[in-house]
């Protein structure tokens, strides 16, 4: 078996793309999107008619509603290819507004349901701010499953577990990027690869904690820079992988061993934690990497959401 097929023995493979025409070749179970991926997709000529058609069908509606129709249209096309779930993201500019996030998530889910897609096939993506996590708590109670994204700190993962979030997306590659940049000339790539990669270590810590305390929230490693990071997390609940890295795994034939094992985690010597708003904000503040990457990620997604707005507004 190639490395992708071997990986699928231990982990649910998810495609990280808005390009639904690429999906079938890798047979992922789920797919994830975000504003940047959707923006990248709609700029490709083959998707221009889909975008124009969707915008034309909802002409005269407020811009934010048209945007949600576009996001859901891409999600629906993806669900024709994958057998599982698609993740659709709430506007990142609402990351610090719990009520607005809940309202937008409900609207996105209603659009899916109006088109005949059941709730079990959709995850609403929300940034892992305190406000985002509280929005997810409300949404989960209402039967709307959430994927908490831009997760970099352990306190974010603990708070998501306490909120009953369905799934979290810790960002392996961006954690790696920060530590590599911070180390500068002192960075030793070989010493910080595989299980020693700082992003891999972060996901392994979260996975161990969840399994040790029987937390049902699924862990989906995200934002990979190389297949070494992916293989070091074989056994994680899910891994969301770009088409480029999926192709590399498909082309590889070296053996893939399970790296994360829930049976081992249940014996881990770790302590249960909980956070209120004040202690969560303090723990996040104390983690310079997480603070910087969360803010940077929200800004980047917000900028791409604004570009998508402009593109749609011009049609």
Which residues are catalytic, by number? 125
Q: Is residue 172 within 8 Å of residue 202, measured between CB atoms?
A: yes
Q: What is the 3-state secondary structure (H, E, C) of the chain?
A: CCHHHHHCCCCEEEEECCCHHHHHHHCCCEEECCHHHHHHHHCCHHHHHHHHHHHHHCCCCCHHHHHHHHHHHHHHHHHCCCCCCEEEECCHHHCCCHHHHHHHHHHHHHHHHHCCCCHHHEEEEEECCHHHHHHHHHHHHCCCCEEEEEECCHHHHHHHHHCCCCEEEEEHHHHHHHHHHHHHHHCCCCCCCHHHCHHHHHHHHHHHHHHHCCCCCEEEEECCCCHHHHHCCCCCCEEEECHHHHHHHHHCCCCCCCCCCHHHHCCCCCCCCCCCHHHHHHHHHHCHHHHHHHHHHHHHHHHHHHHHHHHHHCC
Q: Is residue 33 within 8 Å of residue 78, measured between CB atoms?
A: yes
Nearest C-alpha neighbor of 146 from the set 64, 244, 32, 257: 32
Q: What is the largest CA-CA distance in the chain?
A: 58
């Amino acid at each position: 078996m190639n490395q992708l097929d071997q990986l699928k023995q231990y982990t649910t493979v998810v495609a990280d793309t808005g390009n639904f025409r690429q999906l079938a070749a890798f047979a992922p179970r789920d797919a994830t999107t975000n504003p940047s991926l959707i923006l990248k997709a709609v700029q490709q000529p083959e998707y221009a008619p889909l975008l124009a058609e969707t915008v034309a069908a909802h002409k005269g509606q407020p811009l934010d509603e048209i945007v949600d129709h576009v996001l859901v249209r891409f999600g629906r096309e993806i669900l024709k290819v994958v057998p599982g779930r698609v993740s659709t993201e709430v506007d990142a500019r609402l990351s610090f507004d719990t009520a607005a996030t809940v309202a937008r998530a409900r609207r996105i889910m209603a659009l899916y349901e109006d088109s005949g897609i059941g709730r079990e096939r959709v995850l609403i993506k929300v940034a892992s701010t305190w406000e985002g996590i509280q929005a997810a708590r409300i949404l989960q109670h209402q039967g709307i499953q959430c994927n908490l994204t831009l997760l970099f700190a352990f306190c974010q993962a603990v708070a998501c577990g306490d909120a009953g979030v369905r799934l979290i997306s810790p960002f392996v590659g961006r954690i790696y990027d920060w530590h590599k940049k911070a180390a500068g000339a002192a960075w030793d790539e070989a010493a910080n690869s595989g299980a020693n990669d700082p992003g891999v270590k972060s996901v392994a810590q979260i996975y161990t904690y969840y399994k040790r305390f029987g937390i049902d929230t699924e862990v989906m490693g995200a934002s990979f820079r190389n297949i070494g990071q992916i293989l070091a997390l074989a056994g994680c609940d899910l891994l969301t992988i770009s088409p480029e890295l999926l192709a590399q795994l498909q082309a590889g034939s070296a053996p893939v061993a399970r790296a994360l094992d829930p049976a081992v985690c249940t014996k881990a010597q770790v302590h249960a934690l909980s956070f209120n708003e004040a202690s969560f904000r303090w723990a996040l503040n104390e983690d310079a990497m997480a603070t910087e990457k969360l803010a940077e990620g929200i800004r980047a997604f917000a900028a791409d959401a604004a570009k998508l707005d402009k593109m749609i507004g011009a049609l």
